[in-house]
Every structure is written in structure tokens, then in C-alpha cells.
Amino acid sequence: MTALTLSTAGAATLRADVLVVGVAKSGKTLVAAPGAEAVDKAFDGRLAAVLETLGASGAEGEATKLPSPAGLKAPVVLAVGLGAAPEDGESFDAETLRRAAGTAARTLTGSKKAAFALPILTAEDAAAIAEGALLGAYAYTAYQDAAGAKKPLAEVALLGAKPRDKAFKAAAERAQAVAEEINRARDLINQPPNDLTPAAFAAAAQAAGKEHGLKVQILDEKALAKGGYGGILGVGVGSVNPPRLVRIAYTHPKAEKTLALVGKGITYDSGGISLKPAGHNETMKCDMSGAAAVFSSVVAAARLGLEVNVTGWLALAENMPSGSATRPGDVLRMYSGKTVEVLNTDAEGRLVLADALTRASEEHPDAIVDVATLTGAMVLALGNRTFGIMANDDDYRTAIHEIADEVGEQSWPMPLPADLRKGMDSPTADIANMGERMGGGLVAGLFLQEFVGEGITWAHLDIAGPAFHEGAPYGYTPKGGTGSSVRTLVKLAELTAAGEV
């Protein structure tokens, strides 16, 4: 795990393997960003000119290494692009700093210590850089030969971050806790499904609960059957790895509000009898990303000591075809008592979520937010980097959208058109698990809404696009599991505690 320190040392005097500085574009001119003054001086004021000679433009995502001149203790300088320079006296955008720090940390895989001399004017700037560096340094190497795998950057030293200032210290501690919990989610998402079964996921939650003082309750297949959780059982019945429903709760003695988080945890999704074709099932270990995000967010709330009760519900199952699997045409009786005609067994996420939403509603929280890699339709609508937000309260949906924007997660508010509900009418059951094909992501949201308790504020985050990144890494985003929505959920919990949401 990458260590984080705040240093009072100067950029020229700190001993490190690499010194990271920022460069930006001012019009058509490349300029050294604040924090790079000592490095620019060591280059006799020609840092930008040298970088331009090497082809650097200052664009975001760009990283250029060059040997240090005399006068710097670090033997290597890494210049990362920050894009357009802000107006005089203004900070760089937090997400720009976060991505630049992530780019630097990724570039420095294998290094022991890097000093980050990026622009810091406020504690928020320091937090963004710390978060980006810790997320960018992430690597999943659990199944690789330890001798051959390159180790992530071991230590990040933030220069100019005022370690004796309470605001800077608190910002760094928060950034470290949140980043480590995002990386916990990433580890779970990246873990092969032959090892991360529903029972194994539940055991991980139990272990974290013990470590962080959380109350954990696990319903196994017998308890689920006794309780009438037909949705979760209906999805998991085809697998030799039986399902679980996990309740993981953080409580604070001064809390005045309770936030319930519900996560879809399909540890592998073959599609069931409605089998996914080749080319669509290779990454389906990631179909538990919502549960991973919920789990990590509850732990983060505990680590930060937030004055709000946060309860996580992890609906865990493996969706497999077999002689015992649910068939298209079967009818399930859900935990709520409603019956659902299963028209497509690959629309399984909404079935496990429905039971968990009903159970969460029984505790009458102030709000419920569910998180799921729910529909390919949402990816078609919003692309691979943006999650959709639906809610039964427009103000709450707007608040979550604004929170996501603030923490640097791309999202977009989506509607719940009442006219699409009719498409889920069933001649056999109370509702079908499929409706109109067009607007499929919205149809899924309408289905979930049917299982939310009356009078409870609810939102649904469909993170199918950004939860698992199949392309080349960028910024602080790795290939594989991303931990999408954790930052949004943690900030939502903070604002709920403050009475601002």
C-alpha cells in the first residue's frame, strides 16, 4: 500500500527517486506551474523550453521524464501536463490535479519515493493531489509472480502541503482513507470469480466489520429461503455457490439521520439460461461492482467517523445456467410478496436488488441509494465513463449529480418516464422483469422503484459504464475495476451528516 506524507522540505532539497512538477499551457506557450519554481531555477529558467524541445505540450495526461540538473537532490524530474493555466490567483481544477497526480503515480510504477511539487493553494488542492496519487499508484498483482510483477510507487511525499496545518492534515487523512477504500473495492472487482464467491465476499465484509467496529449480519441460503427472499434465491439457485445477503452497518451515537446503501453483487454473471454470447461474458466478474462500492463506502464512513448512520446491503449471488437454474417464464415470489415473471434471466440484477431494497426499506432510513452495474442500455446512452442517476425525488437526484461533479465522478440525471411502466405488465405475475427494449436503463429503474418503501427518498445509480475499464489506463483510472461511485457515496454521507442533503 502506497504511503502518504506531507513534507515541509523544499523541492530542491528533498531526497526522492523522482520529483514531480506540473506544466501548463498559457495561450500557445508552455509554462512551469506553481510548485516548480526550484526546478525551473535549477534549469536556469529554461524548464519549459527544455520540455518543449522534448515534445511536451502541457496537455492533460502527458508525462515527460528528464534527468535533473545540478542543484536538485532527486535524480529525475517528471513533468506532468495540467492543460490550460488558470487565471492569476486561481487554483487549478481539483479533478485536473487529481488526474495529473494519478498520471504521475502510474508512470512511476517501480519507484520507491516520489516528491510531488504540484500546485497547492488550498487544503482541497492537497487532498486532490493525494487522492489522485494514491489511486494512480494502484496495481492488482495478487495473482502474479511477486518476483516479476512491478510494484506500485511505494511513497508519495506532498510538498507545500503544510503538515502542521489542521485543515491540510485532515484533508490528507480523508484522502488517504477514501483512496484506500476505493482500492479495496477495486481489489474485490478484480478478484477472479472462482475465488470471490458470494460466501467469500460475505467473509470479506465480516472481516472488515471486525476490524472497523461494524455490525455485520449474513443471511445464507437457508436463512434466505426461510425469509422468503425469492429474488436473490431465484438468481443464485443455478449455481453451486449459494447466494448471500449481507447487512453491514456503521452507527454513530450523535447521528440524526440514516442512509441506506444497496449494492448489486453478482459475483459472476453468465446470463443464466439467457446465456450471454462470447465477447460479452469475459469481464462479468465485475457485476458485483455496486456491492463493492457500497461495502467500501460504509467502511470509509466508519474510518472518517461521520455523524450519520450508514447501512450497507450487499445482495450477493452467482448467476449460472444449470438444471436447477431459473428459466425464462418462471415466476418468483419476492421478499415484498410481489410476484415477478422472469422473461430474461440476464436481467438478474434487478431481482436481487428488489429483495434488498424491500429489506432496507423496513428499517425506514431517511434515504436509500442503490448502486449497480445494471444495464447495457445505460452504457449505450452515456458511454463508458458516466453513470446514470434516477430517483423518486428530483431534488435528491440533482443533489447526487452535483456531489458526483464535485468529487470528480462523471454522472448524468436520468428520468423515470411513467409511460414505460406498462411494458412490464405481465399476464401471469404482478410485474415482469423486462419491459420495452428502448429506454432499457429507465425501465430497470422503474422496476426497482416498485420495491422501495412508501415515503422513502430513493436514488438509483447505474454504474455499468464506468465500473470496469477495459481500455488503457488514464489519469488515476486503472485497467479493470475502478471503484466508481465510492467518492460520491462518501461525500453524500458527509453532507447527510451535516444536514445539507
Active-site residues, by number, are: 276, 350
CA quadruple 282, 286, 288, 290: dihedral, nearest 10: -140
Helical (H) or strand (E) element with 128: helix 123-136
DSSP 111: -
What CA–CA distance (Å, rounded) separates 416 from 414?
7
In the chain, the largest separation of any two C-alpha atoms, in whole Å, equals 80
b (16+ CB within 10 A) / e for 319-346: bbbeeebbebebbbbbbbebebbbbebb
Write the DSSP string, 385-421: S-EEEEESSHHHHHHHHHHHHHHT--EEE----GGGG
What is residue 367's three-state secondary structure? strand
The grid cell for 149 is 510483477
CA–CA dist 337, 451 (Å, integer): 10
The residues, any chain, with a CB within 8 Å of residue 317's CB and separated by 6 or more, are 198, 232, 235, 236, 239, 243, 244, 265, 266, 267, 348, 352
Neighbouring-strand partners of residue 265: 316
Q: Find, among 455, 211, 54, 483, the residue nearest to 46 by Cα.
A: 54
Which residues are CB-neighbours of 194 under 8 A, at least 6 positions away? none
- Quote the DSSP letter at residue 26: E
Q: Closest Cα to residue 345, out of 269, 251, 257?
A: 269
The label of the residue with cell 453451486 reads 240
